[in-house]
Amino acid sequence: MKGIYSALLVSFNEDGSLNENGLRQIVRHNIDVCGIDGLYVGGSTGENFMLPTEMKKRIFSIVADENKGQVNLIAQVGSLNIEESVELAKYATDLGYNALSAVTPFYYKFTFDEIKHYYNTIINSVDNKMIIYSIPFLTGVNMSVDQFGELFENEKIIGVKFTAGDFYLLERLRKAYPDKLIFSGFDEMMLPAVVLGVDGAIGSTFNVNGKKSKELFYLAKEGKIAEALNLQHEVNDFITDVLDNGLYQTLKGLLSLQGVDAGYCKRPMKSQTEEMKKGTEKIYRKYFA
């Protein structure tokens, strides 16, 4: 389960419907061109929290069918509707996903006991494994080392996708739970996360920049820090340009320029403006041409 996982982009048609052929092309690009180790399906990058349940299921199904066991698959099934989470967990497990993940429940200020019940309810409903998705800057949910430990008491909860800038907490987690999987969730902070002992990384920019990101990861793992730092500088130049131009729209635009039908973003996200298209073309010429 270790290594580089793309937080999978999803192709939509202009009317918001799922572009199934485009999704298959994105999967193939990640596996065949970017050479990633796995796919994290149904996360923020997949615009998951704007989708109806049946569309989420269809995405899980298409990805599994196109992948055909080539790389590891993680299904993000978290939702404010716990019945939906359980339904998706069962569906993805039946499809053969290697593990599940679930974002911490957000919006309402849930107590830790409520959060713990949420995770145990989801993972105890299936014969599978759970990776906590911790992204406090979007959810407002911060957990301590001891609270992560309480969740890890359930042996089916095997790790965490750590999308936070608190590297003191990351170091404490790594030391306290050496046998749990920890994935870095910020592409721009991969090098320091690897130095602190993460087992892998899950990122949105890997959909287009997977080769270089994977090279960075393994350089850092091998202790070649100077080389890895130079590569992190290059990766972060790219990330800065993408963020300045519009994250998801630019990533989809870059895929389109490489012949992948990456489609549109789901409303209320806007489509690429003419200015954004010009910016995307400039980024493509700078980093990929």
Q: Nearest to residue 183, comparing CAs of 207, 200, 203?
A: 200
Q: Flag whether 45 is marked binding.
A: yes
Where do runs of H (alpha helix) occur along the chain? 20-28, 53-67, 82-95, 112-123, 136-139, 145-152, 167-176, 190-195, 206-221, 225-245, 247-257, 274-287
Instruction: Dig out the tokens for 29 from the structure.
Output: 């690009």
Catalytic residues: 133, 161
Phi, psi for 161 (deg, rounded to 5): -90, 110
Res 94: pLDDT? 98
Average pLDDT by consecutive 10-residue portion of the chain (289 residues)? 97 98 98 98 97 98 98 98 98 98 95 98 98 93 96 98 96 98 97 98 98 97 98 98 98 98 96 96 96
Q: Flag whether 213 is marked binding.
A: no
Helix (H) or strand (E) holding 41: strand 38-41
What is the Cα Rg of the chain in Å?
18
Question: Any bridge partners for residue 274, and if so which?
Answer: none
Q: Flag whether 188 is marked binding.
A: yes
Residue 226 makes CB contacts below 8 A (sequence gap 6+) with none
Distance CA(127)–CA(225), nearest Å, equals 40
* SS3 state of residue 181: strand
Res 138: pLDDT? 87
Res 173: pLDDT? 98
Q: Flag whether 20 is marked binding.
A: no
Instruction: Dig out the tokens for 260 from the structure.
Output: 């992948």
Q: Flag whether 121 is marked binding.
A: no
Q: Which amino acid is at 25?
A: Q
Which structural domains are found in the chain, ordered by start? Answer: 3-224 (3.20.20.70)
Q: Flag whether 179 is marked binding.
A: no
Res 137: pLDDT? 85
Q: Flag whether 202 is marked binding.
A: yes
Res 228: pLDDT? 98
Res 251: pLDDT? 98
* Long-range CB pairs of 173-176, under 8 A, 24+ apart, other chains included: 173/145, 173/148, 174/198, 176/145, 176/148, 176/149
